[in-house]
Amino acid sequence: AQSVTQLDSQVPVFEEAPVELRCNYSSSVSVYLFWYVQYPNQGLQLLLKYLSGSTLVKGINGFEAEFNKSQTSFHLRKPSVHISDTAEYFCAVSDRYPGSQGNLIFGKGTKLSVKP
Amino acid sequence: DAGVIQSPRHEVTEMGQEVTLRCKPISGHDYLFWYRQTMMRGLELLIYFNNNVPIDDSGMPEDRFSAKMPNASFSTLKIQPSEPRDSAVYFCASSPQGNYGYTFGSGTRLTVV
């Protein structure tokens, strides 16, 4: 079975500073990886996903993530954050096999707080 | 596209009452998921459907919970009887076949008093 660990429950950062949100996963098989963002009182929105190909994945709102198989990590980065990036971010993993669409496992989330 | 639509947005009910949460997935999406979000347990998959058929309900907490998908455009999650520990935000999500990005609804915040 897979599992996802988001190492930081909260990350405070100043506006225009870079940020990295860490995610490590555990799985005995190959995986698909995802980052979602949740703004207050809203549902989750897909930021980016890694299915195959280049290990550097670019998403919406200037975010990117890099898949590192040897370190089983999928850290999310943004070079310069904005106040509007304040939200909770979730890393998720799914097994890479037919029929795995239903077993997306989420981490506990990281609350990003951007201060002026 | 209006996205995944959930109703109601907020529900406050008394312990022991029946609660029904509703979801309209995106047209053409083959998969529908029900999740529950709490501070203590985070996001938990309750059940998911493929082409209106329940595939995995192992996440449903107990027999008080039931879910149906009578057609491709509508699903319900019912709790009977409700208990205070059921208080949470319940999300519905849908996804097309082969596309592993789920689209989530805005959620229903359930409070059982």
| CA A71 vs CA A20, A22, A67, B91: distances in Å | 16, 12, 9, 32
End-to-end CA distance of chain B: 36
The reply to whether B25 touches chain A by the CB within 8 Å rule is no
pLDDT at res. A8: 94
Contact status, residue A63 vs residue A77, Cβ threshold 8 Å: yes
Contact status, residue B11 vs residue B110, Cβ threshold 8 Å: yes
Q: What is the mean pLDDT of chain B?
A: 93
Residue in A90, A102, A108 nearest the CB of B56: A102
Dig out the tokens for B47 from the structure.
């059940």
Reported as a pLDDT band with limits 50, 70 and 90, residue A27 is: confident
| CA B97 vs CA A81, A101, A102, A113, B94: distances in Å | 34, 8, 11, 35, 10
DSSP type of residue B17: -
The reply to whether A90 touches chain B by the CB within 8 Å rule is yes
The reply to whether A43 touches chain B by the CB within 8 Å rule is yes
Closest CA to B26 of B53, B1, B51, B7: B1
- Tens-digit pLDDT profile for residues A35-73: 999 998 889 999 999 988 899 999 999 999 999 999 999
Residue B14: is its pLDDT beyond 70?
Answer: yes
- Tens-digit pLDDT profile for residues B54-72: 998 989 988 999 999 999 9
- Tens-digit pLDDT profile for residues A62-107: 999 999 999 999 999 999 999 999 999 999 998 776 666 667 889 9
Strands A110-115 and A10-14: parallel
